[in-house]
Amino acid sequence: MIQTLFGSSDEKPEKEKRSFFDRMKQAVTRTRENLAERIDEVVSFHKEIDRDTLDDLEATLIAADLGTTTTREVLQKMREKVDRKQIGDVGELKRVLKDELLAILTTAAEKPVKSVDGEPEVILVVGVNGTGKTTTIGKLANHFRAQGKTVLLAAADTFRAAAIEQLEIWGSRTGTEVIKTKAGGDPSAVLFDALQAAKARKMDYVIVDTAGRLHNKANLMAELEKMYRTAQRIIPGAPHETLLVMDATTGQNGLQQARVFTEAAGVTGIVLTKLDGTAKGGVVVAISRELGLPVRFVGVGEKQGDLLPFNPNDFVESLFA
């Protein structure tokens, strides 16, 4: 099931593909200073490739939060190609840069997803505070419901004030039941109850909301590990997907977040939220490059439908459109 959801764009109908592309474009080009325009600016300004061209490109990539390491590596490859006369003019640089970024994102996206047989598919949603986990879950529930799937939500964020109420509102908006406990309860216990209920009722999906936690808090990460183990015990192979929700405004700390959350909860993919702002979310390129983690979805607004399956091709296209 998940294969079709996260699968390659070839299988998608042409119409959906276009609307996805348009919306991505809309989301990313909303900013006046987006990466594509700035590259165009750079490209049209310098006809011949010189040191300044590469310096300007460097500034552009850094400004998009790709980080110094990724930027340096990407530009090094371009510099080599320029030296070997494989790139003749500045216009070509754009294409090469695009290909380079695409290669990084595509390799990560090819990572296989755990298969599910006959059991509810469990999606654990994790992340630091305030990235938009609960909102993303509401949108995910809407996404699956629209496909006619049955979904159960587990309110395992028992810590933050009114987190359970927030998820319940999303539950009623999307016609999805929420399994919960009282505030301050044991998150693993909620998870246990939710998975048991989902098994008994033969649900298609269980989406688990967890409390936001900073990845450097050992005890909170241990709690997450415990939840991961609890899920495994009840449904072998669960969680089938652990989504790390990351705010597009996040800087280089995103890399460390991805590392530590992967260690504790086996992150399988990223949801990049708040991409409707001016932030580019370029840190995901660094994450894909270093950890091979794919981006699964992007969040582009506060409404139910503002969650789009991620497609590396379209993502890079929209950056350059």
Partner 1 sequence: MFENLSDKLQRAFKSLRGQGTLTEENMNEALREIRVALLEADVNFKVVKELIDHIREKASGQEVMTSLSPAEMVVKVVRDELVAILGTDTAKLKFASQPPTVVLMAGLQGSGKTTTSGKLAGWLKKGGHRPMLVSVDVYRPAAREQLKVVAKAISAHLYEGSNVEANTATVERLAKEARKEAINNGCDVLIVDTAGRLHIDEQLMEEMQSLKRLLNPQEILFVADAMTGQDAVNSAKEFHDKLSLTGVVLTKMDGDARGGAALSIRNVTGQPIKFIGIGEKYDALEPFHPDRIVSRILGMGDILSLIERAEEKLDKKKSEEFARKALSGDGFSLEDFRDQLRQVKKLGSLQSIVGMLPKIGPFAQMHQVSDKVDEKQITRVEAIINSMTSYEREHHEAINGSRRKRIARGSGTSVQEVNNLLRQYAQMRKMFKSMSKPSFAKRLAGMKLPNGM
Residues at the contact surface with partner 1, assessed by CB under 8 A: 30-31, 33, 59, 62-65, 67-68, 128-132, 135, 138, 159-163, 165-166, 168-170, 183, 214-218, 247-254, 256, 274, 276-280, 283, 302
Q: Do residues 251 and 277 touch, judged by C-beta distance below 8 A?
A: no
Select 194 or 245, whichever has its Cβ closest to partner 1: 245
Select 61 or 113, whichever has its Cβ closest to partner 1: 61
Q: How far is the CB of 140 from partner 1 (least distance, A)?
A: 15
Rounded Cα distance between 137 and 271, Å, is 10
Integer angstrom CA distances of residue 286 from 75, 142, 155, 245:
14, 30, 31, 16
Q: How far is the CB of 167 from partner 1 (least distance, A)?
A: 8
Distance of CA 11 to the CA centre of its chain: 21
The token pair that represents 91 in the structure block:
């216009």
Q: How far is the CB of 169 from partner 1 (least distance, A)?
A: 4
| DSSP assignment string, 277-321 | SS---THHHHHHHHH-PPEEEEE-SSSTT-EEE--HHHHHHHHH-
Select 189 or 214, whichever has its Cβ closest to partner 1: 214
Q: How far is the CB of 283 from partner 1 (least distance, A)?
A: 7
The token pair that represents 177 in the structure block:
């039941």
Tokens 């640089």 — which residue?
Answer: 93
Select 146 or 218, whichever has its Cβ closest to partner 1: 218
Select 135 or 242, whichever has its Cβ closest to partner 1: 135
Select 180 or 240, whichever has its Cβ closest to partner 1: 180
Integer angstrom CA distances of residue 84 from 34, 50, 79, 80:
30, 14, 9, 6
Select 36 or 116, whichever has its Cβ closest to partner 1: 36
First to last CA, the chain: 32
The token pair that represents 92 in the structure block:
């070509």
Q: Do residues 120 and 152 touch, judged by C-beta distance below 8 A?
A: yes
Select 44 or 129, whichever has its Cβ closest to partner 1: 129
Q: How far is the CB of 172 from partner 1 (least distance, A)?
A: 10
Q: Do residues 287 and 254 touch, judged by C-beta distance below 8 A?
A: yes
Select 190 or 248, whichever has its Cβ closest to partner 1: 248
Please give the single-letter amino acid code of residue 249.
Answer: T
**Closest among 237, 249, 187 to 212, alpha carbons compared:** 187
Q: How far is the CB of 279 from partner 1 (least distance, A)?
A: 4
Q: How far is the CB of 213 from partner 1 (least distance, A)?
A: 9
Q: How far is the CB of 214 from partner 1 (least distance, A)?
A: 4
The token pair that represents 72 in the structure block:
């340096």
Q: How far is the CB of 170 from partner 1 (least distance, A)?
A: 6
Q: Which residues contact 130 (CB under 8 A, 6 or more apart)?
A: 212, 247
